[in-house]
Amino acid sequence: MGLALSISDLRVTSDRGRQLLAVPKLELPAGALVGIEGPSGAGKSTLLYALAGLLTATGQVRWGDADVLRLDAEQRARFRAERIGMIFQDFLLFEELDAADNAALTALFRPRTERAALRARARARLASLGLGEQGLDRTVASFSGGERQRVAIARAMAAEAPVLLADEPTASLDRAAADRLIDDLIGLARATGTTLIAVSHDTRLISRMDRILTIEDGALTDDREGSA
């Protein structure tokens, strides 16, 4: 089951004091499917990273009962490992590890009794994204950009966290692979009640969401229901 999100007076500023993002109020129910659109540089990824507690911000970002902005660095890391799956635009893979190990990386932060099942899910996700057995044992240093994206996606999906945050998840994929991924993301989120928030320029992904937010110049300028 997903987590509800409550934002109040969220502000992110640069080191020089320039305001990068301001969201006075936002409420999302558990299990919401939300797309974030807007021009490049508008603050979409900044919002996503603030939701994960990955940058310095003021205000409140509450997932369920936990305000990530009130947690210390160690507590935030633990919260992300247990509650948030993330698909980063720049992948953040370990070059020296193979695809299977990268996709199952969150197993290191889970109880021993859960690790085998998570590794099995990671391999299954890789296979569903087109990386068959022949590619699982290669180090990701030899992978193309599209293959790296699929590994990063498999890692986030294998964790089966209550929250999934995705930053341009289809950007490095061809249209057919992107459409398969959209089906997988939407299907997983609906089947498990996961709260899914995706930043994307891909109109096919955005159109599948229940709710669509528009970010422009660091401000939330539109909040509407999707057509899903």
CATH number for the domain harbouring residue 40: 3.40.50.300
Average pLDDT, the chain: 88
Q: CA 196, CA 190: separation in Å to the nearest integer? A: 9
pTM, two decimal places: 0.86
Number of folded domains in the chain? 1
pLDDT at residue 1, as a whole number: 77
Q: Are strands 5-13 and 19-28 parallel, antiparallel or unpaired?
A: antiparallel
Q: DSSP letters along 59-113, please?
A: EEEEETTEEGGGS-HHHHHHHHHHHEEEE-TT----TTSBHHHHHTGGGGGS-HH
Question: What pLDDT, in 10s, does the model give residues 65-117?
Answer: 999 999 999 999 889 888 998 888 777 788 888 888 888 887 777 778 888 98
Domain that holds residue 51: 5-225
What is the tens place of the pLDDT at every residue in 62-71?
999 999 999 9
